Amino acid sequence: MAHIQLPERMPGIVGPLAFSPETAKPLLELAEVLLRAPHTLTSAEREMIAAYVSFRNECDFCQLSHSAAAAAHLNGNYDLVEQIKVNPEGAAVSDKLKALLAIAGNVQQGGKQVSAADVAVARERGATDKEIHDTVLIAATFSMYNRYVDGLATWQPREREAYREMGEQLAHQGYTRDRFRETPKAAQS
């Protein structure tokens, strides 16, 4: 049971967003800018950073929903997303993204864990200041969302299948549409 009275059958962050619309607005706008605005990193890459940080924070809802969003951007390639979470160094992604994931993993541990050497590696592999900035902020932002979702003990389905539809919607329709004010279809059945 959640720590506060949340609307029923709304998974993860959806309940708290409905509970507090005045904070939901900037929270969703932030996710939209970070994960979906035009960028030199693809939305799939940015969603993988979000999924990786959420996985390391052991937040089921966030890691499964953003894994599903990343997979939706990758035409359903869940295998790659799973590789990223478990062993990013061995995953079939660019060396630049591996260096950015290493920075994200350090931000997850704490801001001071990011070293000049981590940043130098990313830069050698072609990362720009904006890519490094956005990686740090995506990782920091998910260190917030994960705590918000778990700190209120929200209801979180554990099966990957429950997130497939949500992933498609997040990937292709984004974070700032009205669905967060309604009960998602997947949760009604």
Partner 1 sequence: MAHIALTEGLPGIRGPMVFSPETTKPLCELVQVLLTGPHSLTPAEREMIATYVSSENDCYYCQHCHGSTAAQHLGGGEKDYEFIAQMKRDFESTALSPKMKALLNIAGKIQKGGKQVTTVDVERARQEGATDKEIHDTVLIAAAFCMFNRYVDGLAAWQPHDPDVYREIGQHTARLGYVGRDYKKPLDAIAAKQGSSVTKVAGS
Binding site for partner 1 (CB under 8 A): 3-5, 16, 19-20, 22-23, 25-27, 29-30, 33-34, 37, 57-59, 103, 106-107, 110-112, 114, 116, 119, 129-130, 132-134, 136-137, 139-141, 143-153
What contacts 24+ positions apart, CB below 8 Å, involve 91-94? Answer: 93/45, 93/48, 94/125
- Report in angstroms how near the CB of residue 23 gets to partner 1 at its nearest: 5
CA-CA distances (angstroms) from residue 86 to 52, 149, 168? 9, 22, 23
- Report in angstroms how near the CB of residue 49 gets to partner 1 at its nearest: 13
Kindly tell me which of 140 and 187 has the beta carbon lying closer to partner 1: 140
CB 137 within 8 A of CB 164: no
Kindly tell me which of 45 and 134 has the beta carbon lying closer to partner 1: 134
Tokens 């981590």, residue?
118
Kindly tell me which of 91 and 107 has the beta carbon lying closer to partner 1: 107
Segments in the chain forming alpha helices (H): 14-19, 21-36, 43-56, 60-73, 78-86, 95-109, 116-124, 129-151, 164-172, 185-188
- Report in angstroms how near the CB of residue 20 gets to partner 1 at its nearest: 6
Question: Which pair of tokens denotes residue 120?
Answer: 């130098």
- Report in angstroms how near the CB of residue 102 gets to partner 1 at its nearest: 12
- Report in angstroms how near the CB of residue 15 gets to partner 1 at its nearest: 10
Kindly tell me which of 72 and 103 has the beta carbon lying closer to partner 1: 103
Q: Hey, CA dihedral for 173, 178, 184, 188, is it positive or negative?
A: negative
Kindly tell me which of 150 and 165 has the beta carbon lying closer to partner 1: 150
